[in-house]
Amino acid sequence: MSDQDADTLNIVGVIPMAGLAKRLSNLKCSKEIYPVWFDRGADAGREPRAVCECLLGAMRSASIGKAYIILREDKWDIPAYLGSGAAINMELAYLMMERPYGTPYSADQAYPFVKNSLVAFGFPDMIFTQDDVFTKLQKQQQVTSADVVLGVFPADRPEKVDMVNLAEDGRVEQILIKPPQTDLTDTWGLALWTPRFSAFMHEFLLAHQETAAVAPELYVGDVVRAAMQSGLSVYGIRVSDQPFLDIGTWEDLRRAGSNL
């Protein structure tokens, strides 16, 4: 942690949008801006919106007004669509992914800009219905002073996600990466972390990149688990009683009610 208390730090969003979307090879645009139906209540209406607006809207609901989006080449339709963020009342900046070795590397691209901030992290291809998820993460971090707080959801397909086990006090006791079988019932989909974890991940990746090109793909859960083993405190809080929907496949796009 930095010398500042967490409750005095700015909160900045970090959103990785540098994926290849190999399972959606014929999609005519970046999956993060594909229009889908998602319902955020009667006031929000039911018109189709870009998938990533679910995450961005949740950040904005928690008064997170600035976010860094990490891109790769050939995904210029994302900044063309989102622009400066003015249309959603946010300030957006774009960074280029330089090390194509997994989502942690994309998130770490923002390190020089967020190393002294609280980071709100999420996946832009997720759909969930709650607006207050990041507010819950902030409150849990203030109560626990945790280095990382994970936003926990029920898991309907454990083999595709990181499964987590929470102690009664909310401390994360275990993270399993896409287990083929497990008795655990919860996964995580959002996170809030402090400068201490940002620094840990940055140093972890500097060491990992020496073999990253030939190593299995690295997941954020891998880094969080390594942080736990190094003594950083990781807590979770249930932010929904419904699973989130990841639109990473055509099947899941159809589940989202997309007009294909």
**Res. 31: pLDDT tops 80:** yes
- pLDDT at residue 1 is higher than 70: no
Q: d(Cα 164, Cα 160) in Å, to the nearest integer?
A: 13
pLDDT at residue 92 in the model = 98
Q: Comparing 120-129, 190-199, 246-255, which segment has the lowest mean pLDDT?
A: 246-255
| Fold of the CATH domain 6-145+189-210+243-255 | Spore Coat Polysaccharide Biosynthesis Protein SpsA; Chain A (3.90.550)
Give the span between the Cα atoms of 204 and 219, in whole angstroms: 12
Full 3-state SS string of 170-195: CEEEEEEECCCCCCCCEEEEEEEECH
Query: pLDDT value at position 40?
Result: 53
Confidence of residue 102 (pLDDT cuts 50, 70, 90): very high
**Rounded mean pLDDT of the chain?**
89
Q: pLDDT digits over 35-91, tens only? A: 887 665 555 556 678 999 999 999 999 999 999 999 998 899 999 999 999 999 999
Please give the sequence-ordered ranges of beta strands (E in DSSP) within the chain, or none if there are none: 11-16, 35-36, 49-50, 66-71, 91-96, 118-122, 126-127, 148-154, 162-166, 172-177, 186-193, 234-238, 245-246
pLDDT value of position 58: 95
Where exactly are the structural domains of the chain? 6-145+189-210+243-255
